[in-house]
Amino acid sequence: MQAQIQTLKPQWSISGAGGSVEPTPFKVYTQRDLDRIAPLARLSEEARFEMRVVSSVLPFRVNQYVIDELIDWDNIPADPVYQLTFPQRGMLAPAHYDRVAELLRSGASKEELARVVDEVRHELNPHPADQMEMNMPRDDEGHRLDGIQHKYRETVLFFPSQGQTCHAYCTFCFRWAQFVGDKELRMASSEAAVLHNYLRTHPEVTDVLFTGGDPMVMKTAHLKSYIEPLLAPEFDHIRTIRIGTKALSFWPHRFVSAEDADGLIELLERVVESGKQLAIMAHYNHWKELDTEVAQAAIRRLRGTGAMIRAQGPLIAHINDDPAVWARLWQKEVELGIVPYYMFVERDTGARNYFEVPLVRAWEIYREAIQQVSGLARTVRGPSMSASPGKVEVQGVAEIAGEKVFVLRFIQGRNPDWVQRPFFAKYDEKATWLNHLKPAFGEEKWFWEDEYAAIREAKLQAAAAA
């Protein structure tokens, strides 16, 4: 795995609407730099070795801001942001851990280590929910359009190649396969024309989501090349531009004092002035991410452009599986002018066994948290599973005709007709994902199952024929 310490130019202070932020250099650490992260010297040699093992398989990247400002080093290993960013032994299954650990202890060759690591990664479901096979559209000649996903009718996701990294990596990230150096596992495009040509021929699309990685790692000039053309009249059907980002948590200096922060703000203001909705899809996992002065300054500056900031994140063990944490997070978001949007269920990929929470517990946490906040924070939807058929929300547990069941509904579906239609699953206290559930009331199949199977088969046949 490629690793380095990267130090960029100091980020100069800004005052006024964004607040006052001291000059701060961006310094990032990756897998080979674990020994250079000063606070880790507090850990035992075995704990540091465990980090080395896990970060040989799953991507690791953290920066000085996260280390200095977000982690309480007197609360290790329980600190939630520490769990969010630093590898833990339990993130690998024992068999996987032992295979890699033995190779590292024995001084195996780079080639042998790479072969085993590759095998382990492919056993971790690197692309869940059929995202490579079913979500990526094709051109008229059947060629896959890399860098685009079009799962739901109204919304297209675009993965700009310059944005396929982050200022720091979340340990639970369901797109971890993007970051491990395997080109077969990546989804990205450097061609703005690919996106723009696709949107010209799909007038049903109203929303474009720039995602990654994190588009906010890009220079403003690159981001501008993708976004600015969408402001032309030929793209009037594009009503909302969304930008998914963790930068508000992991590097808020990007918005207030980076070299091209002013240019970024001007670009975002132009989007709003064009009459389009600009939505910053901020990823938050814990209220601690909102507590620093620079984080709040970045939020104020973004809101000053006219952009709407919506907050989303998964419910994950070891980090936020506590209703009090979610209630405090949503309250703080509302206080800062952010709209709570989604509580997700941890996806079935990567270190899922370490992070997943049973669906019944996820619903209980959501219910107990939502009871603690006012109506302004009850905009959040969840717990929601982003499964292959669509986004499935757990609405609750009920007893109907003497049977205990999960009440479910589609928030989004591959067929829009599925949306908002309730359906019921047998109660299962251990289930953590949609495929663990079975239809209730003696039904053999879900109401959507045959149609979904047909959609899936058609997509897979098209992929095989290409």
Summarised one tens digit per residue, pLDDT across range 268-288 is 999 999 999 999 999 999 999
Confidence of residue 22 (pLDDT cuts 50, 70, 90): low
Domain boundaries, the chain: 6-122
What's the pLDDT score for residue 144? 79
Residue 440: partners with Cβ closer than 8 Å, 6 or more residues away: 400, 403, 405, 406, 424, 425, 426
Confidence of residue 139 (pLDDT cuts 50, 70, 90): confident
If you ran DSSP here, which 8-state letter would residue 233 be given? G
Confidence of residue 7 (pLDDT cuts 50, 70, 90): very low
Confidence of residue 180 (pLDDT cuts 50, 70, 90): confident
For 61, the token pair is 């990247």
What's the pLDDT score for residue 15? 46
In whole angstroms, give the CA distance from residue 340 to residue 178: 27
What's the pLDDT score for residue 459? 83
Whether the pLDDT of residue 343 is over 60: the answer is yes
Whether the pLDDT of residue 20 is over 70: the answer is no
In the structure, how many helices (H) and strands (E) does the chain have?
16, 14
CA distances in angstroms from 249 to 34, 296, 299, listed in the order given:
21, 10, 10
Q: Are strands 308-315 and 277-283 parallel, antiparallel or unpaired?
A: parallel
| Contact (Cβ atoms closer than 8 angstroms) between residue 220 and residue 260 | yes
Confidence of residue 189 (pLDDT cuts 50, 70, 90): low
Whether the pLDDT of residue 4 is over 90: the answer is no
pTM, rounded to two decimals? 0.91
Kindly state the average pLDDT of the residues 239-266. Answer: 97
What's the pLDDT score for residue 184? 57
| Contact (Cβ atoms closer than 8 angstroms) between residue 67 and residue 88 | no
What's the pLDDT score for residue 58? 96
Cis peptide preceding 77, ω within 30 of 0: yes
Kindly state the average pLDDT of the residues 245-252. Answer: 98
